[in-house]
């Protein structure tokens, strides 16, 4: 069971940057009502699953885990390729993940565009506290990470790719990103409820990212293919991610590169 305070502690440990974490935690608490309102509308108007405070924290934690993995594998982030420090990438990933879904409070369709619209003044304020020399570039890269988190939009940065993949990993025990009607039993509902655990780890040289998924029934593979696989394919890390799926069928394990 995920909790806000528990996830914040994990994010702090992964960030290894007290100043950046203080800014992140303050923004999370200040704009908490954005996440609550988004979730209220998503749950009660659209009839979807959790898109609230726990989701954005969990996406942040996983995106930062992915950032650490790609750095351990020797990859350069987009910010680094532009001559900026790794702190920039941590900022982009953290705040891209934090605000990626707030556009849902306006409409589910093209919610990623509405997220950028709502987040723009907030990100400008946060960037102003974090970066003095080149604030517009940092703002643009952060908004880019928000905009490209949906699989309908091809990623153009490594940071945006990490947010996208992290978002797709939130599919445990009914937390699925895949919409389904709660009063209808079909492949969407069965698949969304069968995944028990998702863990991100380090893979090998060719496939540095390993995502392990445990499920109670092979129907969960539908969930993986419809959400996570599509998000990985829309990212710049396509071909670098290995999925290891524990299908729940007498120890059967399926591996595939996405």
Strands lying side by side in the sheet with 241-246: 195-202, 209-215, 241-246, 253-257
Residues 117-156, buried b or exposed e (16+ Cβ, 10 A)? Answer: ebbeebbeebbeebbeeebeebbebbbbbbbbbbbebebb
Residues 78-91 have pLDDT tens digits of 999 999 999 999 99
Does the pLDDT at position 181 exceed 80? no
Residues 6+ apart with CB under 8 A from 89: 67, 77, 78, 79, 80, 158, 159
Kindly report whether the global pTM for this prediction surpasses the value 0.85: yes
Name the pLDDT band for 188 (thresholds 50, 70, 90): low
Q: Which two tokens stand for residue 120?
A: 């723009």
% residues pLDDT > 70 (the chain):
93
% residues pLDDT > 90 (the chain):
84
Q: Choose between 100 and 226: higher pLDDT.
A: 100
The pLDDT value given to residue 246: 96
Residue 108 near residue 122 (C-beta atoms within 8 A): no
């Amino acid at each position: 069971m995920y909790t806000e305070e528990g996830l914040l502690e994990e994010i702090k440990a992964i960030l290894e940057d007290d100043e950046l974490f203080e800014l992140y935690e303050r923004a999370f608490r200040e704009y908490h009502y954005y996440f609550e309102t988004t979730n209220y509308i998503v749950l009660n108007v659209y009839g979807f699953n959790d898109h609230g405070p726990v989701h954005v924290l969990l996406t942040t934690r996983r995106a930062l885990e992915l950032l650490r993995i790609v750095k351990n594998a020797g990859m350069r982030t987009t910010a680094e390729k532009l001559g900026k420090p790794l702190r920039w990438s941590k900022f982009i990933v953290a705040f891209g993940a934090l605000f990626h879904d707030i556009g849902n409070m306006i409409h589910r369709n093209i919610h990623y565009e509405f997220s950028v619209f709502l987040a723009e003044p907030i990100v400008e304020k946060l960037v102003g506290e974090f970066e003095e020399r080149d604030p517009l570039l940092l703002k643009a890269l952060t908004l880019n990470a928000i905009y490209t988190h949906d699989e309908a939009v091809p990623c153009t940065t490594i940071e945006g790719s990490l947010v996208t993949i992290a978002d797709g990993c939130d599919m445990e025990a009914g937390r699925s990103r895949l919409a389904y009607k709660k009063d209808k039993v079909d492949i969407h509902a069965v698949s969304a409820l069968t995944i028990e655990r998702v863990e991100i780890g380090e893979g090998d040289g060719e496939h540095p990212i390993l995502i392990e998924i445990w499920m109670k029934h092979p129907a969960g593979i539908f969930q993986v293919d419809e959400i996570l696989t599509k998000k990985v394919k829309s990212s710049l890390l396509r071909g670098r991610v290995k999925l290891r799926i524990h299908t729940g069928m007498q120890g059967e394990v399926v591996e595939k590169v996405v």
